[in-house]
């Protein structure tokens, strides 16, 4: 077969192809949700991360286990700020609410 008669295919970077594939499979949002859990300490700081640990995110609700009720109350007051910081870091509205337990 004559190579000149074959159509030239467009070569795309692997990262771009994987991004498109993940979106088509509906995995992009799941990865962003995982990322929200992963960046918790970076967003809230070491002090809070020592007493409050995110466990999972379900339908935009981040579930965070808190050691003491006094911290749970304090974090409830900071909830909107924490949500805004997480979403800003992700550049997308992934976290809609946080449940402290």
pLDDT value at residue 26 = 67
CATH number, position 75: 3.30.300
Would the pLDDT of 10 be above 80? Answer: no
Q: Looking at residue 50, what DSSP letter applies? A: T
Which pLDDT tens digit goes with each residue over 15-27?
777 777 767 776 6
CA distances 12 to 4, 6, 27, Å, are: 21, 18, 20
Indicate the average pLDDT of the chain.
86
Containing domain of residue 41, as a range? 13-100
Q: Which two tokens stand for residue 29?
A: 């949002």
Indicate the number of domains in the chain: 1
User: If pLDDT is split at 50, 70 and 90, which confidence band does 33 have?
Assistant: confident
67 is a domain residue: yes
For residue 56, how many C-alpha atoms fall within 13 Å in the half-sphere facing its CB? 2
């Amino acid at each position: 077969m004559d190579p000149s008669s074959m159509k030239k295919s467009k070569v795309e970077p692997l990262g771009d192809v994987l991004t498109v594939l993940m979106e088509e499979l509906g995995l992009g949002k799941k990865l962003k949700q995982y990322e929200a859990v992963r960046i918790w300490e970076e967003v809230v700081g070491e002090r809070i991360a020592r007493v409050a640990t995110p466990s999972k995110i379900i339908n935009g609700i981040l579930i965070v286990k808190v050691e003491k009720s006094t911290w749970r109350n304090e974090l409830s007051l900071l909830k909107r700020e924490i949500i805004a910081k997480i979403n800003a870091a992700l550049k997308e509205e992934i976290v809609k609410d946080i449940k402290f337990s």
